[in-house]
Structure 1
Amino acid sequence: MNKKVYVLAIAAFVVGTVELILGGILDLIATDLHLSYAKAGYLISIFSLVYAISAPILLNVTARFERKKVYLCTLVVFLMSNLISAFSVNFYMLMAGRALGAATGSLIFVLSLTLAARIVEPQYKGRAVGIITMGGSASLILGVPLGIFVGNMAGWREVFIFIAILTALVIVAISIAMDRVQPIPVVPLKKQLSALWNPRMLAIHATTLLVLAGHLTLYAYFTPFLQATIGASSTMVTFIYVMFGIAAVAGGGIGGLLSDRLHPAKAIIIVLVPFMITMALIPVSVGLPLIAFLLLLSIWSALSWTVTPVQNSLIIKTSPETADTLISTNSGIAHAGIALGTYIGGMVIDHSAIQHTGWVGSILILLGLVTAIYAITRKEHSARAVA
């Protein structure tokens, strides 16, 4: 397989770090800029919102241009966004930096996925997509903890300077390692919209929304869940997050392998069924021996990150002509699912108990399984009709 995929994965790692880091340094930002935690939290919300809507728009705007040039230009603006964040003098300047970082970061991640799929042999497409996903998930166990360490040692501004330096290194690596990649002939917007509004593709996107919402119903409140159910100390919570991140990286790779060895339509069912069951078991597993509980959490983490490469491979397989646009819209839907799951989890905690978030999340994943089956069935019917 083309080793240049790993360079693209490093870019995905940097974007993932920017997206996930703020929760770990929010207290530092709030104190320095004299913000309430609620107002500082808007910096997370604005990132998810801009990320969700930017990629399809930017992908369409840049569709006619050579892809390496687009990639490098986007990385340069992404670097600038982190410098704006680092030298922000007030909340609104920092919000502008975050918004610019979200817009360019979303395009970088989608370009990483689509370029990885284009520069490898057909039999390695799923694995290439999985490696990019692993790059994003690696930020959980490397980028975010390192960023928090830098923030606590030097300050939150230095975190963004650190990310800008990493981005500069990625720009150099891409400039040297990547060849020019000509754009795919532009697909008319009407055809792009018809591909998106196809019932099968809508079902695939609905699966992404529901599965991510189900996962975040518990994961968004993972720390208080661990504290309330097993009385986890701060050290134990840190250890579990590291373990979770390692499992997530493995899950991204597994998803790519499954997509290569099986049709993505089969792979998504193989992933979602145990994912749903595992999440439903978590609330009742807190009374088990700790090693058994941690093993279950590892399986849950791995499966949660296996979904994305399988879904993206399914999109590429289903609609190769409009895959760039559809992967970007699917990425936006995933962020909408993150927001939805966080809201639902909060509602569960307010009106019930935090232990119930796992069960509610598993119900959402079950609904995602139903939409996935619908999408697969529609595909099989279409194939028979053509035959």
Structure 2
Amino acid sequence: MSPSGPRGERLRVVAIADTDSYVKWAASLLGGLDGRWDASVLVLSTPVAVSEAQLASALRGSGLPRDRVERVEYAGLAARLRDLRADAVVLAARGPLVRVLARDVAALSPRPVIATGLPGISIPATRKAVVYRLQSDLFVVHSRRELREFGALSARTGYTHRYALATLPFARSRPGRRAAAEGTDLVFATQAKVPADRADRLRIARMLVRAAEADPGRRVVVKLRAATGEHQTHVEQDGYPELLASLGPLPPNLVTSTAAMGDALDAAEGLVTVSSTAAIEAIARGVPVIALDTFGVSPRLINETLADADLLGSEDDVVARRFRHPDPEWLDDNYFHPPHADDWEDRLAQLVSLRRADALAPRAPFARRGGALRDAWERKTALGADDASAAGAVAYAIGMPLRTVVRMLQRSRRALRWARSAPVAPLAERHVRLPS
């Protein structure tokens, strides 16, 4: 593959991202590209777009300078991509928004190569992740296991993708074992949706208080994803500041932090999480980890990969700071393959060459009913107030009542199926009074 395009010009790749985790992923992914690429990031205005503080945190250590990042409104996105003459566009966003943006990018002439991916641990591979991204030419994953499992999912469902491997960009170093004296904090990596129940999250808050009380000379740091008023990729209910405040006076060594995860890990003795990708960042730095086993292991908790690494630990392990390093045999298959195994950059360059030769066939989106009205509905629900189109307003006005009816029907059908499938107790076990 030539190191650049025709006449030695650099290949132009632009990422579009909005939320904290996706901006961090996109900036780090593009910041690690070699010299054949001219890379930049467009931060799209959406209801959950990063604040300036979150953006600064996401860019720290990414390799992408701040002057290569700009904010853009949805209404001006297509024109900006034409101005940048993008050869490739990396869609770094939640699935519903990727589906909308892929349609828009595919309509450009000439059409850029469309790449996409997920910003962290993506096991289990899910049908939704694949379907939302069907119109992309390249789907980036971050471990040999993810490559295998997404490939198997595509084979089962028929929703085929071109998958490519890239080292998780903020975990590029090979893991070792850092000296314990290099850090003293117990860092807890919060997650917006794991665990989901308030009672479970309150249990974690109580555990963190216990850990702080057990060792008053060392800090317990609750690493938050966002400050008050800032948004995250996923909407968080029952945030830890509120849960901790509900427990009364707190130990002075129990603190919250919105600093960059890298800064938090610099001062960490160990990291605690349920299933945050921060565990992979910690391992890359040689920081030991506890993946909390209180709620079990399941696809819903996104912690099967960490369980396979032998990182599970109990609440008592957390309080006692009995951190763990991963099983060495786990590393190569899970996020720490050798750099030469990465092929996403070369595969993207090859697709750009095909595109410039007008030999790259466009990919069809997921087929669904509704036509232009459905497109407008999806755009409005993904962008909210940032979609100011009349079509979006009409689609929303029509679609919201319809969605309510459809969801009611779906719930009724599920309830009916459950009732039909539920075992019927023998007559003697039914507490029914028979007539005498």
- Asked whether the two chains share a fold, i.e. TM above 0.5, the reply is no
Please, what TM-score do these two structures have when normalized by structure 2? Answer: 0.22
- Higher strand fraction (1 or 2): 2
Report 1 or 2 for greater relative contact order, CA contacts < 8 Å, sequence distance ≥ 6: 1
* Structure with larger Rg: 2
Please, what TM-score do these two structures have when normalized by structure 1? Answer: 0.24
- Higher helix fraction (1 or 2): 1
